[in-house]
A = this chain, B = another copy of it.
Amino acid sequence: MPKVWATSGADLHLELTGPRVRAGLEVALREAIRGGRLRPGLVLPSSRALARDLGIARNTVADAYGQLVAEGWLATRQGAGTWVADRPTSAPRQVTTTSRSAIHVRYDLRAGVPDLSTFPRTAWLAATRRALSAAAFSVLGYSDPRGLRQLRTALTDYLARARGVVVTPDRVVVCSGFAEGLELLCEALRARGARTVAIEQYGHPRYRRLIEAKGLRPVDLTVDGGGAAIDQLAHADAALITPAHQFPIGVVLEAQRRRRAVQWAADSGALIIEDDYDGEFRYDRQAVGAMQALAPEHVVYAGSASKSLAPGLRLGWLVLPERLVDEVLAIKEQLRRLSSSIEQLTLAEFITCGGYDRHIRRARLAYRRRRDRLVAMLRREAPQVRVTGISAGLHALLELPPTESEVDIVARAAAGGLAIDGLHSFCAAADGSRPALVVGYAAPPDYAFTTAITRLCAVLPH
């Protein structure tokens, strides 16, 4: 046995010098067992023998053996020595997963992301510094599932002022973005026995899938020039709509439909989820206030920092009807869905000190200019393409002549390194919807914007 071991010992390339002799021995033994050089069942030399061979203290070897026994690598029995324990054999391998986007994206005109190059790093960091130095240490623990009071208070002021939301801090629930907010609402709806959620025929397929994953059935609402067809709500238990700026069609829910929608919710006891994803960005006129204000007990207002600052912050918020607050909190509490305390405090400070408003004003101006440039360029370079929807938000809808194939255009763009989505990506029904492109003009950094829209024009029909 000692002979076998001596051979293995040579293989170990032990560096038994310096102060960490025992640690080195342990690592070497672990690696040798893991790599299969020391096979299960192999009896090790006594600690005395190995210590002599290696010229180290016997206790060092005994301690290392003891450690590896405790960890399950070695086994021992009084009188039977120490041997390599049985264990399932499986060498760790590098995981290879398939890349999700094979084509290299050089220019990104997909909707949904703001210009991240303008994220106000300096101001944000300064807000973090102020927030961290002012914070009681207790907020770094498991905090209020509603979100920290500082952020809920700041959001209350901001949402009432900027979006006309009817809100008190007690009705605000901080979440990690709209997706988590929707997930919480679906779970609360499900627990109340809800079965269907009406959603706009055009929208993020992600949210449709999320609703399905939560055991609810999505029911489509047609979308026309006046927004979602509210008269189709019928017997749905809830409705998810984008009244300020339909995504991706770009229309506003007309006034009469807003009223009819809240009346439907009030009459039927159903819940409206108002996704105000880009409510801050309207360029042609003052933004239409939140629909939630018409019926705060029947409409959930949902917003986030994903378009106004950056999705990477993972901060969103719900303003809930009173009857839903406890239910949503119970779910958050059970699953311990909390957002980072430091980022909550930072956003609270950033709003309170005026940094948030300043950033949005700047972004609004920049996006408005981009939209104007896009529209002007299309008029010149691709007169057959029609830009529809209101002058707002972070995306535009480009209607193509009916003979064009949006799939072909998207493919041609991709071949040139330009990522862009066709309207069909956002449409559940595979019907022959008019060919169109959804252009997210906010995503590229400034220096890449002109090239991006030039490349876009190059693949459009002239």
Q: Which residues of A contact B (CB under 8 A)?
A: 30, 34, 67, 69-73, 75, 85-88, 90, 92-97, 112-113, 116-117, 119, 121, 124-125, 128-129, 132-133, 137-143, 164, 166-168, 170-171, 176-177, 179-180, 183, 206, 209-210, 213, 252, 255-256, 258-259, 262-263, 265-267, 285-286, 288-289, 291, 293-298, 310-315, 322, 325-326, 329, 334-343, 445
Contacts and interface: CB of A to CB of B under 8 A. Distances in A.
Given A34-B293, A168-B92, A291-B72, A259 B87 contact: yes
A113 B88 contact: no
28 contacts: A30-B289, A67-B289, A70-B252, A70-B288, A71-B164, A75-B256, A75-B259, A87-B294, A88-B263, A93-B322, A94-B168, A97-B329, A116-B137, A116-B140, A119-B140, A124-B132, A124-B342, A125-B129, A141-B310, A141-B311, A143-B312, A177-B336, A180-B336, A210-B334, A312-B340, A314-B340, A314-B341, A343-B343
B297 A87 contact: no
Nearest to A298: B88
Contact of A255 (B71, B125, B294, B297): B71
B340 A296 contact: no
B90 A295 contact: yes
Contact of A340 (B180, B262, B266, B343): B343
A180 B332 CA distance: 11
- Most B Cβ at <10 Å: residue of A132, A133, A255, A326: A255
Contacts of A338: 176-177, 311-312, 314
Contact of A258 (B72, B206, B293): B72
Contacts of A88: 262-263, 265-267, 294-295, 297-298
Given A75-B259, A128-B128, A341 B322 contact: no
A139 B334 CA distance: 30
A54 to B, nearest CB: 19
Contacts of A256: 75
A314 B295 contact: no
A422 to B, nearest CB: 20
A258 B70 CA distance: 9
Nearest to A443: B141
A359 B90 CA distance: 35
B262 A87 contact: yes
Contacts of A93: 322
Copies of this chain, complex-wide, total 2
A256 B85 CA distance: 9
Nearest to A243: B72
A180 B337 contact: yes
B342 A313 contact: yes
- Most B Cβ at <10 Å: residue of A168, A259, A263, A266: A259
Contacts of A314: 338-341
A289 B71 contact: yes
Given A143-B312, A313-B341, A315-B340, 17 more contacts: A34-B166, A70-B252, A70-B288, A72-B259, A72-B262, A86-B259, A87-B295, A88-B297, A95-B325, A97-B329, A116-B138, A116-B141, A121-B133, A179-B336, A180-B335, A213-B334, A314-B341
A312 B132 contact: no
A97 B312 contact: no
A224 to B, nearest CB: 17
A293 B336 contact: no
Contacts of A293: 30, 34, 71
A263 B72 CA distance: 11
Nearest to A74: B255
A335 B67 contact: no
Nearest to A171: B95
A258 B128 contact: no
Contacts of A311: 140-142, 338
Top 7 closest A-B pairs, CB basis?
A: A88-B266, A312-B341, A72-B258, A179-B336, A140-B312, A140-B310, A95-B170
Contacts of A210: 334-335
Nearest to A77: B256
